[in-house]
Chains A and B, each alone.
Chain A
């Protein structure tokens, strides 16, 4: 029975392969997926049943024909399935001489009655753990765990969890949580209380450790990603979830010196610390993959330590694979992983076993959300990749990045998803390819400090409300500029206002290509270009969702362009319109309470900054519009 099942699967696979080849001729490469699949990789030798082959005859081949062939080839063919019988005409021969197998298969394939002949492969269904709440772990399906577990479970790899500790032992009044019974632990350290017992008095670290190596297939609780890996509890955060950069820097070096191959840091904040940056570099040079949370501010700032070079910065997605609202982004972001999005309901969080908030002796199963929850998925998959034979952090990271899935409709790297959502199975396949063909076999998308190429719909777009006020401001300021001019310098009111060279830039800068909204469907591009020019410049140059940028929200562009217009006088009305537009939008922004400007250290500086720049723009506009009399 098992054999016939194996043969059927094998035959289906043959059929699927031939079909794939036909389609490959006219299907363009889907760049959102890795350029290979696990099935194309060199076959696992252990899957081959020795001395057994499958021969698929043309349908309708009779028993008499089989018998004739049997004696001709000197093998004993049996129908693979009694029910299907000669209808499917799939047969299996066992006891074939293993040395001659390939030659025999080649001869068999020449027979006109044979559709296909191949070695018999043993295929087993993917591992499905028996943990009762495994079905609630959508996150494990999202990163393709069931198939990955067939290849690697992280055995022997030490993952250090630098956090609030782990409820890993019964010690004094601490209790191990039940779903970590059977998990493996390396000796850790408590950098807060300065002893060897890095127990959890908060609840965060145990949850994070659970995602990495919750005891799995134990008929209790939930599953973990790399459940055969060894956890190293390192407590760096106190009972309130805070710690100092000095303690964390020490702990990074300590973990690297004590055999950790992966460090998980679901923590962040504070300013840049050269001491910690050096510690991260030290660990990575020792062969440690350092994985850190990007941050929960929902803003364009990747927190430290995730932002240090050598650290893998992880953002969070919800169950739909869309970036979670709280997940921070930026040019340092490397990958995304499931971190939960409870705006879609409690069960859209990440479920693990931890200690109760407020009572560290009680065990609970809790749904949490945060980039802290996304990070251990990546750390654990890094452990799977190490356990599968990766040699150094470069290989681990390459396998992770090359196999990650950018969101639907995007290709390559982006500030919001990094290389995309990780895929455990595909990353192991990527490692296999890398091992077989060398490090150059995989290419990782370059990091572009601009939005990834948009090839389809990702978000549902709506046009922002049309705001005429900046245009009104510009027109008002135009009147003011004209009034400051002497009669002889002043251009005619009407010929100026109705000259497209002047009016078009003025409108574009203040209200954008507003007319698009009346005949174009809302899309990333059309919603962008219906915004005022400074907004779309800000978004194109600095990325979606970035703060208003003081380079764009200033007199810089009009001033630079006006220098050009000194020589090319025909451009003067255009620059004049542009400068007036900028004056209008800057004046409006200051009046409306000022947008949060990026990089500006003090918020109260924003309004004076905008006012001064608006005045410079007015000055430029006046110079451009003044009629130059000979």
Chain B
């Protein structure tokens, strides 16, 4: 699936990276590479939601990025 939105760093727990999608959802960012870690930048990301994953972030579903481009 494709998600368009903003990359965010949130000072929660030990610090977490999220993707705030344009349709108002928050995904926990996973996959991709370290260049994706640019707070405030807008991306169009292709990937899958990992429905079986639990973790420390607890902000929303974990979205594993396969490919992305900044827009």
Interface on A for B, CB 8 Å cutoff? 163-164, 202-204, 207, 237, 240-246, 248, 266-271, 273, 293, 295-297, 303-305, 326, 328, 342, 357, 366, 368-373, 596, 603-604
Give the Cβ gap from A516 to chain B, nearest Cβ, in Å.
30
Determine the distance from Cα of A237 to Cα of B28 in the docked complex, in whole angstroms: 15
**In contact, A271 and B51 (Cβ under 8 angstroms):** yes
With A269-B28, A603-B23, A603-B24 as contacts: A237 and B56 at CB distance below 8 Å:
yes
Determine the distance from Cα of A244 to Cα of B53 in the docked complex, in whole angstroms: 5
**In contact, A270 and B54 (Cβ under 8 angstroms):** yes
**In contact, B58 and A203 (Cβ under 8 angstroms):** no
In the A-B complex, the 8 residue pairs with the closest CB atoms: A242-B55, A295-B58, A241-B56, A370-B13, A603-B23, A268-B58, A296-B58, A269-B54
**In contact, A244 and B56 (Cβ under 8 angstroms):** no
Nearest B residue (CB) for A269: B54
Residues of B within 8 A of A271 (CB): 51-52
Interface size class of B (residues with CB under 8 A): 20 to 34
Nearest B residue (CB) for A236: B54
Determine the distance from Cα of A382 to Cα of B23 in the docked complex, in whole angstroms: 41
Residues of B within 8 A of A366 (CB): 14
Residues of A within 8 A of B53 (CB): 242-245, 269-270
**In contact, A296 and B54 (Cβ under 8 angstroms):** no
With A241-B57, A266-B56, A603-B25 as contacts: A370 and B62 at CB distance below 8 Å:
no
**In contact, A204 and B13 (Cβ under 8 angstroms):** yes
Residues of B within 8 A of A241 (CB): 13-14, 55-57
- B58 in complex: contacting residue of A243, A328, A369, A604, CB < 8 Å: A328
Determine the distance from Cα of A454 to Cα of B54 in the docked complex, in whole angstroms: 36
Determine the distance from Cα of A305 to Cα of B58 in the docked complex, in whole angstroms: 11
With A240-B30, A242-B30, A269-B62 as contacts: A368 and B54 at CB distance below 8 Å:
no
Q: Does B60 contact A (CB under 8 A)?
A: yes
Q: Which of B24-59 contact A (CB under 8 A)?
A: 24-26, 28, 30, 51-59
Residues of B within 8 A of A245 (CB): 52-54
Q: For the complex, would chain B's binding face be called helix, strand, loop or mixed by DSSP majority?
A: loop
Give the Cβ gap from A368 to chain B, nearest Cβ, in Å.
6
**In contact, A242 and B54 (Cβ under 8 angstroms):** yes
Among B53, B54, B55, B62, the most chain A Cβ lie within 10 Å of the Cβ of B54
Nearest B residue (CB) for A238: B55
**In contact, B23 and A244 (Cβ under 8 angstroms):** no
With A244-B52, A269-B28 as contacts: A357 and B14 at CB distance below 8 Å:
yes
Give the Cβ gap from B37 to chain A, nearest Cβ, in Å.
13
Residues of B within 8 A of A269 (CB): 28, 53-55, 57-58, 60-62
Residues of B within 8 A of A370 (CB): 12-13, 56, 58
Residues of B within 8 A of A328 (CB): 58
**In contact, B58 and A293 (Cβ under 8 angstroms):** yes
Determine the distance from Cα of A297 to Cα of B54 in the docked complex, in whole angstroms: 14
Determine the distance from Cα of A297 to Cα of B60 in the docked complex, in whole angstroms: 6
Residues of B within 8 A of A295 (CB): 58-59
Nearest B residue (CB) for A343: B11
Q: 1/0 contact trace for B1-35 toward A, CB 8 Å?
A: 00000000001111100000001111010100000
Residues of A within 8 A of B58 (CB): 267-269, 293, 295-297, 303, 328, 370-372
Residues of A within 8 A of B26 (CB): 297
29 contacts between A and B (CB under 8 A): A204-B14, A240-B30, A241-B57, A242-B30, A242-B62, A244-B54, A266-B56, A269-B53, A269-B60, A269-B62, A296-B12, A296-B13, A296-B57, A296-B59, A297-B26, A297-B59, A305-B54, A326-B12, A328-B58, A342-B11, A357-B14, A368-B14, A369-B13, A370-B56, A372-B13, A372-B58, A373-B13, A603-B24, A604-B23
Determine the distance from Cα of A370 to Cα of B11 in the docked complex, in whole angstroms: 9
Determine the distance from Cα of A371 to Cα of B12 in the docked complex, in whole angstroms: 9
Nearest B residue (CB) for A208: B56
Among A267, A368, A370, A596, the most chain B Cβ lie within 10 Å of the Cβ of A370
Given A204-B13, A241-B55, A245-B53, 11 more A-B residue pairs with CB atoms under 8 Å apart are A202-B14, A242-B53, A242-B55, A243-B54, A266-B56, A270-B51, A270-B52, A342-B11, A357-B15, A371-B58, A372-B13
Determine the distance from Cα of A270 to Cα of B50 in the docked complex, in whole angstroms: 8
Determine the distance from Cα of A566 to Cα of B11 in the docked complex, in whole angstroms: 57
Determine the distance from Cα of A202 to Cα of B54 in the docked complex, in whole angstroms: 15
Determine the distance from Cα of A604 to Cα of B57 in the docked complex, in whole angstroms: 26
Determine the distance from Cα of A204 to Cα of B11 in the docked complex, in whole angstroms: 13
Residues of A within 8 A of B54 (CB): 237, 242-245, 248, 267-270, 304-305
**In contact, A369 and B12 (Cβ under 8 angstroms):** yes
